[in-house]
Amino acid sequence: MMLVAAAQYCASNDISENHNIIEKFMLEAGAKNVSLICFPECANLIAKNKQELKERAEPADDSKTIKKMSYLARKYKIMTSVGSLMLKQSNQQKIINRGILIGRGGELLATYDKIHMFDANIGDGKIYSESDDFNSGNKIVTKKTEVAHIGFSICYDIRFPQMYRQMSRAGAEIIVTPAAFTAKTGKAHWHVLQRARAIETGCFIIAAAQSGIHADGRQTFGHSLIVNPWGQIIAEAKNHQTELVLAEVDLKEVEIARNAISAWKSD
């Protein structure tokens, strides 16, 4: 058994302010002997508009947030999924939405760039067009670590079950699904999608979520979840509360679930 955590908060357009929140979560996780902590999508920044996003996104090769989180992972000896960061590359006009896994010694273990862009008009008064501003990734990523074999996704990816199947076949035991889900789609789809991906893959799902009203006016859904391989929610955050969600997980449950129902490996 090991203790895992999902951090829920409302990221602002002030990176230093978000760092303070992250540090408090890491201190709490360290005191509770957490083995793996997961942060939400846009962990470092939710800007008030596209221009501010381009200005405040951090250099991918010199990110203060990566340095900060690497230091904290090393200090508290916690494996850390940063969720995702808003980063920019010197030779690209568009931003990248990048997930990063940091080891207990502060080392970078894996990176994943969000594949599926949220281009949608869901009827909440905002038009979402991530492909206008972000370069999409093209590689599914899993990483075998001392804690677990971990698969990576970000927010809108949750609607594409085939990539989760591929991660489970690659050996993933835990899949992280950091998100900044809108309030409207979250209310309709958040819980059922997270549970479905767990059931289909026989994996634990750790869904750290943004929660609240942000500088750009959007409202995110919250309800960070930890789901077991049988699809049961074993921990959940309150709607808009800043909270560290904790659950004990036993990776033996992955094998039990997959042996019980083998549909995940049949197609």
Model pLDDT for residues 243-256, shown as the tens digit of each residue:
999 999 999 999 99
pLDDT in tens, 118-168: 877 666 666 667 888 999 999 999 999 999 999 999 999 999 999 999 999
Q: Which of 134, 65, 44 is nearest to 97 (CA)?
A: 134
**Domain-by-domain residue ranges, the chain?**
2-265
Q: Which residues are marked as active site?
A: 41, 114, 155
CATH of 2-265, one of 3.40.50.150, 3.40.50.2020, 3.60.110.10, 1.20.1250.20: 3.60.110.10
- Please report the pLDDT score of residue 118 as a whole number: 82
Could you tell me the pTM of the whole model? 0.96
- Beta-bridge partner residues of 2: 249
The stretches in the chain having pLDDT less than 50 are none
